[in-house]
Structure 1
Amino acid sequence: MKLIAVTTPYFFIEEDKIITALFEEGLDILHLRKPETCAMYSERLLTLIPQQYHRRIVTHEHFYMKEEFCLMGIHLNARNTKEPHDYDGHISCSCHSVEEVKQKKDFYDYVFMSPVFDSISKEGYQSQYTPEELRAAAKEGIIDKNVMALGGITADNILEIKDIGFGGAAILGDLWGKFDCQNDQNYLSVIKHFRQLKEIAG
């Protein structure tokens, strides 16, 4: 099962070092999600991440960066609903219901299904699915290796995600919550937590 990290919506000083360390530890894909931020800051972050990892980064904004930095691809969501007209390459997208996953997953390289559990990073953003609904969707072939679970995923429930049949888990709040950019001197707790997630996910 793939492990995907989604960035925090804000930038911070140690971010490039943590992202590089996560790739070194075996992170499959990074989603660069910085809504309503200046492209210049995303560009700077990318220049600080070794080029060998750029092909494992998907951007949610400023789609021209895909070509400029040889990124893996782009991600569509409520803010950016369409790919550029001349775009050719990897596309993923966000889905928020079983029906939406069913309609869209065959048109994209993979889709995010969220929130599978109550969100950690977005207050009040609660899961819309029961475990029974998720298992039924997997049994029908709606949830498969091209559907990535997002929302509230932790070390305590990632095995359930794997067991249901998702192709991957996208981690946000549970990972970045291990690091306080205002006070922490090092980011070893983030790396140790990622190792634990990777070990459980197999």
Structure 2
Amino acid sequence: MIMLLSPEQPIRDESAIVMALFKRGLSLFHIRKYRFTDTEMMAYVNNIDHFYRKQLVLHSHFHLANELGIERLHIREEDRKQHKQEAFMTGFTLSTSVHAISTFNTLDAIWDYAFLSPVFPSISKKGYGITDTVLDDLCLRCNSDVRLVGLGGINELNYTEVFTAGADAIALLGAVWNSPKPIQVFDKINNNNFSPN
């Protein structure tokens, strides 16, 4: 399973690229547009074909989810610690983020999956993960109730290592959006994806 996170800054033809990737097998698209107004978020989502609505995940603007027909919400780590997910435990599929395998192992089954990062040094956030990555910690996983999604620095050259280490899925960000040929990068990973999911 391959997921994609939106870029924080606008990319030319962003919606068209997302739809092209859905057609090529993208599983889920995480919308991280924290600075959008409600109107901007509505327009952004409506620029993606309604056929893919159930594959969209909101990181913010949760009050628009029902109106937009979005059933998946991502609760950031700091919000999870404040138990903000409790307002959305009915009617939504929830995911979250963690930065240590020990934290992942304590998550309960209300979470469909969790991002564990950084697996490798980040592509989009320069300097992040240079000295502290979590790839080698995946072998310490003991939580089978929540799917583990590797995030951070994953590209067409190293993604197989993440599956081999025990991740259920991967999430892409910089490898796609920082590339002049984002669709080709996705195709290379997707066409060779040996994950059983």
TM range (shorter): 0.7 to 0.9
| Counterpart in the other structure of 2:138 | 134
Unaligned 5+ segments in structure 2 are none
**Secondary structure of the structure 2 residue equivalent to 1:54:** helix
Query: What is the one-letter code of the residue matched to 1:190?
Result: P
Partner residue of 1:172? Answer: 173
The answer to whether the 8 A contact 1:76-1:94 is kept is yes
Shift of 1:144: 8.2
Change (3 A) 1:27 1:86: closer
Residue in 1 that maps onto 2:189: 197
Q: Distance in 2 between matches of 1:119 and 1:143?
A: 26
Return closer, same or farther for 1:192/1:118 CA change in 2, 3 Å cut-off.
same
The whole-number CA distance in structure 2 between the counterparts of 1:40 and 1:13 is: 19
* Percentage of matched positions with identical amino acids: 26
Q: 1:133-179 deviations in whole A, cap 9, x for unaligned? A: 322x24xx347870100000011111111111211000000110113
The separation in 2 between residues aligned to 1:93 and 1:132, in whole angstroms, is 21
Question: Which position in structure 1 is the counterpart of 2:103?
Answer: 100
One-letter amino acid of the structure 1 residue matched with residue 162 of structure 2: I
CA contact 2:138–2:167 (8 Å) conserved in 1: no
2:116 is the alignment partner of 1:113 = yes
Deviations 1:39-98 (A, max 9, x none): 221210111111110100100000123211212310011464413625521000010111
CA distance 1:176–1:105, shift in 2 (3 Å): farther
Q: Quote the RMSD (CA, aligned, Å).
A: 2.1
Task: Determine the structure 2 residue equivalent to 1:19.
Answer: 18
How many angstroms does 1:191 deviate by?
1.1
Contact 1:101 1:113 in 2 (8 A): yes
Judging changes above 3 Å, is the alpha-carbon distance between structure 1 residues 126 and 98 closer, same or farther for their aligned structure 2 residues?
same
Q: Distance in 1 between matches of 2:160 and 2:146?
A: 15
Q: Name the CA shift for 1:160/1:145 in 2 (closer, same or farther; >3 Å).
A: farther
CA distance in 2, matches of 1:97, 1:4: 20
CA contact (8 A) 1:144 1:166 kept: no
- Runs of 4+ residues over 6 Å off in structure 1: none
Q: Is the 8 A contact 1:145 1:166 kept in 2?
A: no
**2: distance between equivalents of 1:105 and 1:125?**
28
Which TM-score applies when normalising by structure 1? 0.85
